[in-house]
A = this chain, B = another copy of it.
Amino acid sequence: MTFQDKLRAAAEHNRSLLCVGLDPDPALLPAPVRGQDNPTLHFLKHIIDATADLVCAYKPNFAFFGALGGRAWPTLKATLEHIPPSIPVLLDAKVGDIGNTAQQYARMFFEELGADALTVNPYMGLDAVAPFLAYPDKGTFLLCLTSNKGAEDFEQQQLPDGPLYLRVARKAVEWNTAGNCGLVVGATQPGAFAQLRQHAPDLPFLVPGVGAQGGDLEAVVRHGIDRRGGGLLINASRAVLYAAKGPDFAQAARTAAAQLRQRIQACLPA
């Protein structure tokens, strides 16, 4: 089953375009999990159990696992194994390297870890993307227009035929021969959604920035939805993970996820 098929099935089954980002920051873990042998893993298992019927995907953030040092790999692996096989896993590692190195990452993330999709930084061009696209069943999401202020520094700079981020989107469409390419488009740039959807009608968009960063959810859904009423993975991390810090943290995460799913559904065309 390809990533795209798995994503569509999960989105339809759970009636959800919500993607929950798994960013386990040790400093923010709720008190009740801190005494556990592996607090991060314990925490994430509860979060997954509480939200798995409300999401279209999970997005573990590689850096937050990497910071666990020697426990990074086993914790990430056990977290992915705990996610129900029907829910796709989009690993957020923003890798950007070429040739042999990119192949190492592809093998590590797609084969050893079993992730269904990956975020990739396109700066170095096709050589940095092709080793991932070579896996037709896996999703490769290129950073396009991100939700941070620094997007002005390079991404939004004007080339002769439009801003740099639009060139990334055009290239993604060109490189999408196996139907396995996606884009990362920040919710804080709602004005760009109609433009990007026009140029990339069939690519899924991973959309960070609706939570803490304050993006405009309604504009994102209205302009970002694809022709089949999908194609969006609207990500929330902290707003779900850290909805409460006491013993009710998992229930609070479920409530936050359910509310966000509902807010997204309410923006969909009738």
Seen from chain A, the residues whose Cβ lies within 8 Å of a Cβ on chain B are 23, 25, 61, 63-64, 66-67, 69-70, 72-74, 94-102, 104-105, 107-108, 112, 121-129, 143, 146, 148-155, 157-160, 164, 167-168, 171
Contacts and interface: CB of A to CB of B under 8 A. Distances in A.
B98 A25 contact: no
B167 A146 contact: no
B127 A97 contact: no
Contact of A96 (B99, B104, B123): B123
A166 B196 CA distance: 26
Copies of this chain in its oligomeric complex? 2
6 contacts: A67-B108, A70-B74, A72-B72, A94-B121, A125-B154, A157-B164
B146 A124 contact: yes
B157 A143 contact: no
B66 A105 contact: yes
Contacts of A73: 69-70, 72-73
A105 B107 CA distance: 22
B123 A155 contact: yes
A245 to B, nearest CB: 17
Contacts of A101: 23, 61, 63-64
A126 B150 contact: yes
A124 B143 contact: yes
Given A73-B72, A101-B61, A121 B148 contact: no
Contacts of A112: 67, 69
A166 to B, nearest CB: 11
Given A25-B100, A123-B154, 19 more contacts: A63-B95, A63-B104, A63-B108, A66-B108, A67-B112, A72-B73, A94-B95, A96-B121, A96-B123, A96-B143, A122-B154, A123-B143, A124-B146, A124-B148, A124-B154, A125-B155, A127-B149, A154-B164, A164-B164
